[in-house]
Chains A and B, each alone.
Chain A
């Protein structure tokens, strides 16, 4: 294919942002920028869906590959996607318009700059999922930090500066190590092109250190226990749209990184560090579930539950079984929808009452029936009820883990019980009961834009729960290749 479709899809949101920046019309400014950014992001979504449609699901090779010399002789600019990345691109393109719509109700000042930041962020994230070159990947991966940092730091809550710095400090610390690792990979193999590295293969003796360096970056982004503490703060302080992007997409970059880079480049080290990952993941699942149980702030509760759900993702990836990895990918996508929706739900009442504390609510079902209905769907999705997308991911991961380690699977299953406990309790305290607080009696139910976003997400959550093959069919071949390559590498290594 000659047309550089991947570059186009990556650059489209930035184009939109520049357009907003240049054509500055003071009258009706807010309306115009919303329309422009909505138009751009919806076009990106169409493009992404088109891409998914023309994508050849039966091939395990990277498709739509674009290659250009960048710093001649050293670094190539290389894009390409396989069955795993295409879905993350679709997810990103799907979540962004939703964020834009959510801004209508929640962002009151500097809307233009906010939307520009969101569009830039979208470009960077799509870039992450397209990159096939380590340096390009690193640039996009880190560039994403900047708009997010600004979103938290400028449009955030009262403790926004603390949260923004904590976020930056944690993520940057991990990333620096990754940069060092990328440079050393270049010295070892002479290239930063991922496909070439897969062929050349990094010598086993280097793999362990390099794996740890990449791990430190991904673990922070994931986030894994014990480097997860930035996430609750970042979520609490971030505006709704920021939380949505953070939970739905930024966290997924780490899971994607593990799949694409850690397993692909360092198979031997990946195998070696399985116990570490399993331990941290299981601690994350149980620890954060317990912590979530005691939260008084809705966003914190959902943030902690995200850490627990991401624990399932890392567990699944490092089982190296078909069910485990497919389950992880599915769990990431489903969590992308569900957690985004949960943060939107919090945003809906926050816009009206300006409190995130669970104690400020109660009995909302009496006056907000539609809201209560969609909230219920997402709550059930978050606790992994069969028939929602949350179940498919969890059950596949657990089936995969069970093949590797009984104890880990059993402990992780306990997390599922706790998950039900904190979500149901949250729902009870916020939605059910009598409406006793006077200031709540005047609340209005979902308006058109909110209803549109939330019912769409609820519909998708249920649809994927009943027909997950829509997703699974796309990833089968790529996951097969991933596992086969991995096992071939292990065998080669033992033969040596």
Chain B
């Protein structure tokens, strides 16, 4: 069964593309059916795991063996991977269904469906791996699919550039991950998780010299791995690719850039909890990066005007939550938030896709507004998504986000308290930008001059159906699974797939902490409505007053410009100089060209000797004779 689960999407991808001559409909049906079957299988596996404790490791094939390096292709089913399987395949199948409607006007549907299935396969390989190299395979595989899908509309220059940017930023992150893997192999002689974790536990205090610095082995491994995670999950400094990635079709954003691929970084940290648990430094670093990202991305999201970019920054910020949850040692809560987030963020993205569809590919929210009566279903579904994202009481986001804040408090260290404060503050920011998006898009005045309001239309059923299922998830997933995943006996579910040095105690929470987030979140609704719809004069006054700050946020803290200045331009210049000056002006000039010049020079001289006149030759002979005589005489 696990084999079918993994290989159905790959089969779908290949078949979906090769049957395109039969017609688009066939490839849509084949890819979607196979992924849906995968989703059903993964639910069965999840159920079997929870109820019957059926976990295991299934080997597919040898991959690389060289000396003591032995790597297999394998499928490792444990609680952590089984819940990821459910998330990946279920969101993926919903996105497949949605795409049939969303891409209906696109001439390249088979290619699109095939890429989506290929992505699903890579993500599954990543999740079920039992070793670091297969993880790396999946890791780069999802990066490749992300590249292909962002650049899906290859005629758009901006899409191609965004695709390359995504790939390269991820490559920089992967460089860190690769270094981490090298370190692991060098010191532990294996890349299999179980063996690595056993050996790591035995070398907690090992100090190594890394590029002249003496550091703790586990710490440096964790930090390297985490750089990979930062790239994939678009954390602070590596975040620049994610907003640009919105150039891809919206279903892609929902699947890859919200629900699954970008959470791979969180998955990696949780998967390596047996390493991270032994390094306080690395954990703190994870927490700090998570906190910075959460606040930073939320602050940028408040002023953006592109509907997808707002949600992209929101994703960035929510990933930050997951990381600082992991950073304070609450790995299971991080995964719980990953789980609930997948539903409501996919819902928001697909919902915004529905809005974009209604406005005929318009993405600027300033050119929308007042259409909530025209798009009633989309409106309601987006409302649910927004409520869930902001953590409105009793929806899924509420349980997971509050749990993060609570566990940060339980941690009891200063990092924990900071994380708690950042969590509360970001929750408030989240509420503001989410409601701003919602109100400006659906309420207020209709602002689009190109399309008459009558022309906007509700999406077809095939697009609404997945949204409804996701909405159900966004409402109930938190409530239904909270006891199992983060309840008092969470270890009954997680078993040894997540490692805790010491079990986190559930303490008694002060009342104010229980109340502060929900109160802020609920209060944000009328505040935002008033500021953005009722009376915009206050805001525009504030904007005028704080022009530089507004620009700073609008331009995303100028990161793109900084990177262009720091890396891209200098590299190009250096490349050019090395080629023109290094290769042509130095090596060639003094190498072969110089050599041939010297020879030419001497042969030109030598040619002059061959004048054909006897007295010239006689003179040279005489000269030679006299030198010879002199030499003999002196000796």
List residues 68-123 of chain A with CB under 8 A from any CB of chain B.
none
Q: Is A136 an interface residue (CB 8 A)?
A: no
Q: Beyond A424-B168, A425-B164, A432-B151, is A293–B144 a contact (Cβ under 8 Å)?
A: no
B211 at the A interface (CB under 8 A): yes
The reply to whether B66 and A472 form a contact with Cβ atoms under 8 Å apart is: yes
- Is B182 on the interface with A (CB-CB < 8 A)? yes
- Among A407, A416, A417, A433, contact of B155 (Cβ-Cβ < 8 Å): A433
B284 smallest CB distance to A (angstroms): 24
Q: Which residues does chain A contribute within 8 Å of B183, judged by CB atoms?
A: 402
Answer whether residue A235 sits at the interface, using C-beta atoms and an 8 A cutoff.
no
Chain A's nearest CB lies how many Å from the CB of B221? 13
Binds A, one of B337-345, B406-414, B544-552, B571-579: B571-579
**Min CB gap B593→A, angstroms:** 8
Q: How far is the CB of B99 from chain A (nearest CB, A)?
A: 21
For the complex formed, measure the closest distance between the CB of A113 and the CB atoms of chain B, giving whole angstroms: 27
Partner-A contacts on B (CB < 8 A): 61-69, 73, 133, 136-137, 140-141, 144, 147, 151, 154-155, 157, 160-161, 164, 167-168, 171-172, 175, 178-179, 182-183, 185-186, 210-211, 571-572, 574-576, 578-579, 582-584, 587-588, 591-592, 595-596
Q: Give Cα distance in the complex from A409 to B183, angstroms.
A: 11
Closest to B73 in A: A466
A472 near B64: Cβ-Cβ < 8 Å: yes
Q: Please tell me if the beta carbons of A386 and B141 are within 8 angstroms of each other in the complex.
A: yes
Q: How far is the CA of A277 from the CA of B11 in the complex (A)?
A: 45
Q: Which residues of B contact A424 (CB under 8 A)?
A: 147, 164, 167-168
Question: Would A468 and B583 count as touching, CB distance under 8 A?
Answer: no
Q: Are B582 and A287 in contact (CB under 8 A)?
A: yes
- Asked whether B66 lies within 8 Å of A396 as measured between CB atoms, the reply is yes
CA distance A403 to B68 in the complex (A): 13
Given the known inter-chain contacts A294-B575, A386-B137, A424-B168, please indicate yes or no for A399 contacting B69, CB distance below 8 A: yes
- Bound: A396/B596 CA distance, A: 41
Q: Nearest chain B CB to A267's CB is how many angstroms away?
A: 19
Instruction: List residues of chain B with CB within 8 A of the CB of A467.
Output: 61-63
Taking a contact as CB atoms closer than 8 A, the residue among A287, A293, A392, A413 that contacts B572 in the complex is A293
Sample of 7 A–B contacts (CB below 8 Å): A230-B592, A322-B68, A391-B137, A392-B64, A402-B182, A416-B178, A433-B155
A15 near B: Cβ within 8 Å?
no
Contacts of B576 in A (CB 8 A): 294
A472 and B167 alpha carbons, distance in the complex (Å): 30
Let me know if A433 and B154 touch, CB within 8 A: yes
Q: Evaluate whether A402 and B155 lie within 8 angstroms (CB atoms) in the complex, with A293-B571, A417-B171 already known.
A: no
Q: A291-B575, A293-B575, A410-B211 are in contact. Are A434 and B64 (CB under 8 A)?
A: no
Bound-state CA distance A421–B144 (Å) is: 13
In the bound complex, CA of A418 to CA of B136 (Å):
19
What residues on B are CB-neighbors of A165 within 8 Å?
592, 596
Per-residue CB contact flags for chain A residues 380-417 toward chain B (1 = under 8 Å, else 0) read 10000111000110011011001100110110011011
Asked whether, in the complex, the Cβ of B588 is within 8 Å of the Cβ of A229, the reply is: yes
Q: A229-B587, A386-B136 in contact; A294/B579 too (CB < 8 A)?
A: yes
Given contacts A323-B66, A428-B161, 8 further A-B contacts (CB under 8 A): A169-B596, A230-B592, A403-B186, A418-B571, A424-B147, A466-B61, A467-B61, A467-B63
In the complex, whether A363 has a CB less than 8 A from a CB of chain B is yes
SS class, residues of chain A in contact with chain B: helix
How far apart sit A230 and B575, CA to CA, in the bound complex (Å)? 18
Q: How far is the CB of B146 from chain A (nearest CB, A)?
A: 13
Judge whether A295 and B579 touch: CB under 8 Å.
Answer: yes
- One of B62, B69, B167, B575 near A290 (C-beta < 8 A): B575
Q: Do residues A407 and B67 form an inter-chain contact, with CB atoms below 8 A?
A: no
Cβ-defined contact, A398 with B182, below 8 A: yes
In contact, B157 and A433 (Cβ under 8 angstroms): yes
Q: Judging by beta carbons under 8 Å apart, are B164 and A417 in contact?
A: no
Instruction: Return the contact of A416 from the options B175, B574, B584 (Cβ within 8 A).
Output: B175
Residues in B with CB closer than 8 Å to A416 are 171, 175, 178
- Bound together, the chains give a CA A431 to CA B154 distance in angstroms of 9
**B178, B183, B574, most chain A CB atoms within 10 A:** B178
- The reply to whether B175 and A290 form a contact with Cβ atoms under 8 Å apart is no
- Give the docked Cα–Cα distance between A170 and B182 (Å): 37
Bound-state Cα–Cα, A425 to B168, Å:
11
User: Chain A residue with minimal CB distance to B61?
Assistant: A467
A287 to B576, CA, bound (A): 11
Contacts of B154 in A (CB 8 A): 365, 431-433
B210, B211, B592 pick with most chain A CB within 10 angstroms = B592
Given contacts A229-B588, A229-B591, contact A402 B61 (CB under 8 A): no
Q: Does A227 contact B (CB under 8 A)?
A: yes
CB of B66 within 8 A of CB of A322, answer yes
